[in-house]
Amino acid sequence: MSLSAFRKVGICALLLFAATGMRVVSGDSGGRFFEDITQKAGVAKKHTNRSFKNPYSNIMAGYTALGASVAVADYDGDGFEDLYVTDSKEDGKNHLYHNNGDLTFTDVAGEAGVAEGNDAENASADCLWFDYNNDGRPDLLVVRFGHNQLFENLGNGKFKDVTKEAGLYRYLNAITAVAFDYDHDGYVDLFIGNYFSPVNIFNPETPRFFPESFETANNGGGVTVFHNNGNGTFTEVSEKIGIKVSGWTLDLGHGDANNDGWDDLYVACDFGTDRFFVNNGNGTFTDKTETAIGFDTKKGMNSDWGDFDNDGLLDIYVTNITDDYMREGNFLWHNNGNLTFSDVARETGTYNTGWGWGAKFFDYDNDGWLDLYVVNGWVSAGNQDYVPDIFQMITKPGIDFADARNWPPMGNKSLSGYEKKKLFHNEGGQMFKDEAAHHGLDSIKDGRGIGVADLDNDGRMDLFVANANSEPYLYHNILPPGPHWAEFMLEGTKSNRFGVGAQLRVTAGGKTYLRFVNGGNGFASQSTYRVHFGLAKQDSIERLEIRWPSGARQVFEKLAADHIYKIVEGNSKTLPFIAKATKR
């Protein structure tokens, strides 16, 4: 659909929506759908930014207010999703919050062997669960400024550091990672986005390690791709497979843009243009940025994929910076179906989210339309504003931006701080309306990552928000009963074990919804591997079609709603979902 057609349909749909008052939860009298359970759930440990001890420490403090992240997975297979949460200070411990099954959590990172993610030469920036050895147990990658860590899940509540033997011990100032099987060999591969180039930012030998340009920098860390060899080791293949990025990467998002069965890649770059790579289906990618999205100069922060208008094509949401002094606006890339995208952020009301960070598509009210939660805010500190300082630097003739010594220290000043988060309710696939305040999700902390998961297996999606230099939030979804739902846990046999990249098409009430298994999309966060569908008034599913990464297709008919199903590739019957809480 062209952009103008999208706009016309949008107006019609909005009128229809307004006329019918088509809200699933009728009778809602202003009640909140979320409650803050951070304290009582036992997950309130604070994140602290890294302080550097080098000559540029007072400059770097502001620019590395990062590292608050969360990754969701059921690491012990008890049927309840657990949380891994990072800290960034030098002696800060990372947390493995084991889900006790009653919406309380116990931090078992120390005994599991995954707490030590920060030291003088490494700072945690992100985290990712992925099953690198296809043993059915999610393993853990701690993404770091410095050296990443890969922990093998031993299955007994313990993890083993296998970074070196896996071939992943390399100095990268990594900030994001996704894992998907780009070449369909049955093993997920690792795509790592790096912010700074691989200079030792803890003890830099040169002051010239800052971005050379605010818009078109080519001295960033880019993207490093590690091919999974299927024997517990990885080989770096970035250039070989056509992934060449030199910008300051902040996020990576994968999804199948043209429904050809091969996942494509969106690279969101802070300094430097965003990139779009099309998977050629032969183990290589082609950079199609120019034709797909055009060359931008905005500060790409997030890349999440989802079919927000239920047209059977995955769209992409990218946050940028929008403030009085920098009006970039976000991108909501509507997929035109021909490997081109049109930005409909203005038209849909998702354009302005301040200094945006993580953003996630999810259906919080089970009405069948993907909503969006967006966190924001750079540094919320003192009353003084850092903007004039930075602009004074910018307007100096002949300034060398790459030289850290030219950047003004931030001190206790704020920059795009104290910004309210946005919960965009999807109003029929054409417009979004901010409901954050209504549901108590409009915090003003400096949000970074959002983990979406059904933490109590009740079919309603909960949220964990990682905040920089602050306590996180755990929001329990308390949507009133009514709207139906279904969740699916996939197990690949020919495909990778967690079915990453599988597309699921559910038909209910004559409408078809597309969702997929994603391998860690969204800034500083990973949501559940389970695939959730809101079904609104439909209490049964007419048809479920799964397209596995192996190419296999399976169809299931007449499934009851309000269940969590387990599906094994090649098995014609769904399996019952079993959850057995284990308190620790």
Partner 1 sequence: MKKPLPILLLLSLLTGAWSDGEVRFKNAEKAVASKDYPSALSEFEAALTADPDNIQYGSEYRQAVIQAKEYDRCIKFFEKLVADHPNSPNAYLNYGFAYVDKIPAAGTITQVILANTALTYFTKSLELKPSWIAYYTRGNSYLYWPKIFGRAALGVADLEQAMKMQKADSQKRSYHVRAYISLGDGYWKTDQLDKARAIWKEGLGLFPDDIQLKARLSKEGDELKEYIDDVLDPNKRVDTNLQEIWTNK
Residues near partner 1, by CB under 8 A? 214-216, 297-298, 321, 324-328, 385, 387-388, 391, 394-395
Q: Please tell me the distance from the alpha carbon of residue 584 to that of residue 582, in angstroms, as a whole number.
A: 6
Q: Please tell me the distance from the alpha carbon of residue 122 to that of residue 291, in angstroms, as a whole number.
A: 38
> Between residues 97 and 351, which has the closer beta carbon with respect to partner 1?
351
Closest distance to partner 1 from the beta carbon of 449 (Å): 25
Name the residue among 197, 202, 192 with its Cα closest to residue 173.
Answer: 197
Are 237 and 252 spatial neighbours (Cβ–Cβ below 8 Å)? Answer: no
Closest distance to partner 1 from the beta carbon of 509 (Å): 39
> Between residues 231 and 395, which has the closer beta carbon with respect to partner 1?
395
* CB-count burial class (<10 Å; 0-12, 13-18, 19+) for 385: middle
The vertex-31 CA angle with 25 and 35, nearest 5°, equals: 110
> Between residues 353 and 526, which has the closer beta carbon with respect to partner 1?
353
Token look-up 């950047």 returns: 407
Closest distance to partner 1 from the beta carbon of 232 (Å): 44
> Between residues 136 and 388, which has the closer beta carbon with respect to partner 1?
388
Closest distance to partner 1 from the beta carbon of 397 (Å): 9
* Alpha helix stretches (DSSP H) within 181-307: 289-292
Token look-up 């296809």 returns: 134
Token readout for 221 is 């860390």
Closest distance to partner 1 from the beta carbon of 274 (Å): 12
Name the residue among 99, 103, 105, 26 with its Cα closest to residue 479.
Answer: 26
Are 528 and 81 spatial neighbours (Cβ–Cβ below 8 Å)? Answer: yes
Q: Please tell me the distance from the alpha carbon of residue 162 to that of residue 139, in angstroms, as a whole number.
A: 10
> Between residues 395 and 572, which has the closer beta carbon with respect to partner 1?
395
Closest distance to partner 1 from the beta carbon of 298 (Å): 7
> Between residues 16 and 391, which has the closer beta carbon with respect to partner 1?
391
Are 64 and 52 spatial neighbours (Cβ–Cβ below 8 Å)? Answer: yes
Closest distance to partner 1 from the beta carbon of 247 (Å): 13
> Between residues 272 and 472, which has the closer beta carbon with respect to partner 1?
272
Closest distance to partner 1 from the beta carbon of 326 (Å): 5
* CB-count burial class (<10 Å; 0-12, 13-18, 19+) for 367: buried
> Between residues 183 and 296, which has the closer beta carbon with respect to partner 1?
296
Closest distance to partner 1 from the beta carbon of 329 (Å): 8
Closest distance to partner 1 from the beta carbon of 435 (Å): 19
Closest distance to partner 1 from the beta carbon of 395 (Å): 4
Q: Please tell me the distance from the alpha carbon of residue 300 to that of residue 290, in angstroms, as a whole number.
A: 16
Q: Rg (Cα) of the chain, in Å, rounded?
A: 22
> Between residues 273 and 503, which has the closer beta carbon with respect to partner 1?
273
Strand partners, 277: 265, 287
Mapped to the 3 state alphabet, what secondary structure does 182-219 carry? CCCCCCCEEEEEEEECCCCCCCCCCCECCCCCCCCCCC
Are 447 and 19 spatial neighbours (Cβ–Cβ below 8 Å)? Answer: no
Are 445 and 470 spatial neighbours (Cβ–Cβ below 8 Å)? Answer: yes
Q: Please tell me the distance from the alpha carbon of residue 355 to that of residue 446, in angstroms, as a whole number.
A: 9
Token readout for 263 is 């996942």
> Between residues 44 and 437, which has the closer beta carbon with respect to partner 1?
437
> Between residues 344 and 504, which has the closer beta carbon with respect to partner 1?
344
Are 491 and 499 spatial neighbours (Cβ–Cβ below 8 Å)? Answer: yes
> Between residues 326 and 444, which has the closer beta carbon with respect to partner 1?
326
Q: What is the dihedral of CA 18, 20, 21, 23, to 10 degrees?
A: -120
In sign, the C-alpha dihedral spanning 88, 89, 93, 95 is negative
Closest distance to partner 1 from the beta carbon of 401 (Å): 9
